[in-house]
Amino acid sequence: MSDLERLLRPRSIAVVGGGAWCNSVIEQNQKIGFKGHIWPVHPQKVSVGGLPAFKTLADLPDAPDAAFIGVNRNATIGLVGELNEMGAGGAVCFASGFKETADGAVLNDQLLSAAGGMPILGPNCYGVLNAVDRVALWPDQHGLVPVERGVAILAQSSNIAINLTMQQRGLPIAYTITAGNQAQQGLASIAQTVIRDDRVTALGLYIESFGDIADFEELARLSQAMQAHQEALMAQIVGFTLQTCEIVLPEVIERLSTARVKKTVTQSLKMAIGSSQIKVRLSPATLDQIGPELRQRAVYYKCDGVLDLRADADLPDGDARMEWDHGSLDYGFKKICDRLLAELRDTHARALTAQKEKDGNGQA
């Protein structure tokens, strides 16, 4: 697991602080359907957001996977240090007043020192919305709903991000994550974790400053490698499907062709009701097998008087040809299976060709 995994997909969340923002974090997790533990932490309050509060981080049952720290900047530094020491998975630092202000540079350095190897988002950011795992380390309203897969939107600005979640274009959003000041985790480093999630279909970045260009270079390399891996995996899946179909379909055709042609011709008889003549041609063997039942069905549909049902020695078993006043049918279950195999062979060949070309370009 990467360093950010626990923070982005937590099973337990500590909400530190007791103001409206922290109440909202609890509310948003409950609304989106978070299934894990939510542990409010406040030194004086008995409850926060309707949940019993712990007086200190040390009182928690376990180190939280993620924490939302909704207190002032000075208190934030100490709390981040405590979380780091107790083995927490990471924290969202909501407070402002760090390196974006004239007097915040020293505090920013202290924050990074306190965090050590523990991931932090921000400071001065809203945090994380994860709609696939139903997580909302987020102190405000948003437009996300639970989804099984979707795009990931990463931004520095929480204002931009919250507006993007309100889109009404039917675009499924899996993640919305804000980086704020990017004191420790920049957009590129966050993205490197997010794109490893198979449920993420695309990545969108709203970039105001690039920070460490090397992180973006690594993100580009990782994206290309993952795309190549997915294409190779798809080629293997198509190849396996093709091999399976080549083995299985002949037996399927032998077993099911008669039943399929009977069902198809019966449905077409219903469509042809009212016609002045209904021509049906089947192979001799197929006619012997299903002819009596088709005639009975024609009697039921009251079209037996216009039914012309005959054998055609040129038709393969399981095929049928029909003509009526306003329609026709040329059906063959084997032909359908052959078209499926042809499509699979073509897709597999194109996938292998594309993979060889990329391998060749990589070696050049």
pLDDT for the residue numbered 363: 43
pLDDT for the residue numbered 358: 67
pLDDT for the residue numbered 2: 46
pLDDT for the residue numbered 228: 67
Domain map of the chain by residue range? 5-211, 243-337
pLDDT for the residue numbered 178: 95
Regarding beta strands 47-48 and 51-52, do their DSSP bridges make them parallel or antiparallel, or are they unpaired?
Answer: antiparallel
CATH 3.90.930 fits 243-337, yes or no: no
pLDDT for the residue numbered 359: 66
CA 89 to chain centroid: 24
pLDDT for the residue numbered 356: 75
pLDDT for the residue numbered 364: 38
pLDDT for the residue numbered 242: 83
pLDDT for the residue numbered 184: 92
Helix axes 187-194, 213-271, angle to 10 degrees: 40
pLDDT for the residue numbered 236: 79
CA 205 to chain centroid: 18
Say how far apart CA 46 and CA 149 lie, in whole Å: 38
pLDDT for the residue numbered 129: 97
Per-residue pLDDT of the chain (364 residues; tens, 9 = 90+): 348 999 999 999 999 999 999 999 999 999 999 999 999 999 999 999 999 999 999 999 999 999 999 999 999 999 999 999 999 999 999 999 998 888 899 999 999 999 999 999 999 999 999 999 999 999 999 999 999 999 999 999 999 999 999 988 888 999 999 999 999 998 988 988 898 888 998 888 888 876 667 777 877 777 776 666 666 767 777 788 888 888 888 888 888 888 989 999 999 999 999 999 999 999 999 999 999 999 999 999 999 999 999 999 999 888 999 999 999 999 988 888 888 889 888 888 887 887 777 666 654 3
Options 3.40.50.720, 1.10.10.10, 3.20.20.70, 2.60.120.700; CATH of 5-211: 3.40.50.720
